[in-house]
């Protein structure tokens, strides 16, 4: 049952279209996945994929899958080959247009769909700060960044206000997928429907503008910011963008391509109509194959030379490789990857820092780059994150398993395997995709797949 105040408002907004909108709630929702190009090419995945796939128009690596498919239970999911993502939710990061080598902030990043999408576009180059204010959700975000093999991300657990005090005119692009009333997810999430109220809509709108204010000061002149919500409420969409533009005259709404089924924002739904919001984009479930969404592409006027950006805490210097000889020995023996240079040690944990990594002193950080491994009594044990980030040619020893084999099910369930070859660490791969570590000795491959991730997998 849709809330009465919600349906009354939507009837006023949509007029004759309302019946088609209401009927969409009786239909099966569309499900999709996004191929992770950090793990391999889209073309290679399509040759191997055991699913029925159809392209998502606005995301080049996005595909709808059939209701009979279960990609979340396939070994490829555990290997980070793809991310299961609502198709409309792929649009904002696609419009962000991230490029390799840039400095990018995802301000409200959990659970990680948009951050991992941005990371794939960056191809491991530059700096991605993925932030989430809620600790439990920040942990899920960090886990998803690990599963997708992201090397150049720093995952933080801070408020937008705290971050805005540290960075000024610093980021090339900022993603603001703001907390919202979730109206666009009613078909997907019954709890969102039950918790909805007009009071919450107004509270969300107030909070969204505060978040945008913080983001505005952190974006460099000439930079791009994408604001998005998964709600239909004009108060959280057109009204929020209108209020933001009045407060920040250096910003403008970009004119961007709209794909079939995408609608323009509606100035007439505002208390103070602003024609620029007609350049924003609305996604309705009765118009396209996806849930409800809204996005605005915002550009900050100016050029880099006008106002140099800064990071208040400076940058991490890292440590010398002379201080991590156990890791150096491991790398020389087992890796062909370029994992040298900017190293960061936190207790017994070792990370490779991304470019431009800021000093993390005084900041709640869950992941300061790529987790390389742990120091244990004069030896180095590689991290699961490293296995997921390695390309096939970057490991000296590998063990190949088929996604349809009993061996991959046994491995993901924590069982030992039989193996032959030189003793030591092996990258376990499923159809060429790194999925975890094993250590071979005496013909037995000891299983190093993390205990907390072990499960029965359907092949």
Residues annotated catalytic, as ranges: 230
3-state secondary structure of 140: helix
Is there a contact between 251 and 299 (Cβ–Cβ < 8 Å)?
yes
Backbone φ and ψ for 239, nearest 5 degrees, come out as -65, -40
Strand-pair category, 343-346 with 281-283: unpaired
Q: How far apart are CA 211 and CA 457, in angstroms?
A: 40
User: Before 111, cis peptide (omega within 30)?
Assistant: yes
Compute the distance between CA of residue 149 and CA of residue 5 in angstroms, rounded to an integer: 44
Start-to-end CA span in the chain (Å)? 37
Q: 336: closest CA among 400, 390, 389, 399? A: 390
> Three-state SS for 25?
helix
Whether residue 70 is preceded by a cis peptide bond, meaning omega within 30 degrees of 0, is: no
Task: Give the three-state DSSP class for 368.
Answer: strand
Quick one: tokens of 209? 């503008």
Which residue from 166, 164, 303, 104 is spatially nearest to 221, judged by alpha carbons?
A: 303
Rg of the chain's alpha carbons, rounded to an integer? 23
């Amino acid at each position: 049952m849709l809330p009465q105040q919600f349906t009354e408002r939507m009837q006023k907004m949509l007029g004759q279209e309302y019946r088609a909108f209401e009927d969409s709630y009786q239909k099966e929702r569309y499900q999709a996945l996004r191929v992770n190009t950090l793990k391999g090419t889209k073309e290679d995945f399509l040759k191997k994929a055991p699913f029925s796939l159809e392209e998502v128009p606005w995301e080049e690596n996005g595909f709808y899958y059939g209701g009979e498919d279960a990609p979340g239970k396939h070994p490829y999911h555990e290997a980070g080959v793809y991310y299961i993502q609502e198709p409309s939710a792929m649009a904002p990061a696609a419009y962000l247009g991230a490029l390799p080598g840039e400095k990018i902030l995802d301000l409200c990043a959990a659970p990680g769909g948009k951050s991992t999408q941005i990371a794939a576009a960056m191809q491991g180059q530059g700096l991605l700060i993925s932030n989430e204010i809620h600790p439990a959700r920040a942990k899920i975000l960090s886990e998803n960044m690990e599963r997708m093999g992201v090397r150049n991300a720093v995952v933080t657990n801070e408020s937008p206000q705290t971050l805005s005090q540290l960075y000024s005119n610093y980021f090339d692009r900022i993603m603001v997928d703001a907390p919202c009333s979730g109206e666009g997810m009613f078909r997907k999430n019954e709890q969102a429907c039950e918790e909805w109220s007009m009071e919450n809509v107004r509270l969300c709108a107030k909070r969204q503008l505060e978040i945008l204010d913080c983001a505005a000061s952190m974006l460099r002149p000439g930079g791009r910011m994408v604001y998005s919500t998964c709600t239909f409420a004009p108060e959280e969409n057109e009204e929020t963008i209108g209020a933001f533009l009045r407060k920040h005259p250096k910003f403008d709404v970009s004119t961007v391509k709209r794909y079939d089924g995408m609608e323009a924002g509606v100035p007439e739904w505002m208390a103070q109509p602003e024609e620029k919001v007609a350049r924003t984009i609305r996604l309705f479930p009765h118009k396209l194959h996806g849930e409800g969404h809204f996005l605005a592409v915002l550009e900050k006027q100016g050029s880099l030379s006008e106002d140099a950006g800064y990071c208040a805490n400076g940058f991490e210097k890292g440590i010398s490789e002379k201080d991590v000889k156990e890791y150096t020995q491991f790398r020389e023996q087992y890796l062909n990857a370029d994992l040298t240079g900017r190293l960061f040690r936190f207790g017994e944990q070792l990370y490779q820092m991304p470019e431009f990594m800021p000093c993390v002193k005084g900041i709640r950080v869950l992941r300061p780059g790529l987790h390389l491994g742990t120091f244990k009594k004069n030896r180095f044990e590689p991290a699961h994150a490293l296995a997921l980030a390695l390309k096939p040619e970057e490991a000296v020893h590998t063990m190949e398993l088929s996604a349809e084999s009993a061996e991959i099910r046994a491995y993901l369930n924590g069982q030992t395997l039989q193996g032959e070859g030189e003793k030591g660490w092996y990258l376990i791969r499923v159809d060429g995709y790194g999925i975890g570590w094993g250590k071979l000795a005496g013909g037995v491959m000891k299983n190093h797949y993390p205990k907390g991730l072990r499960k029965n997998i359907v092949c």
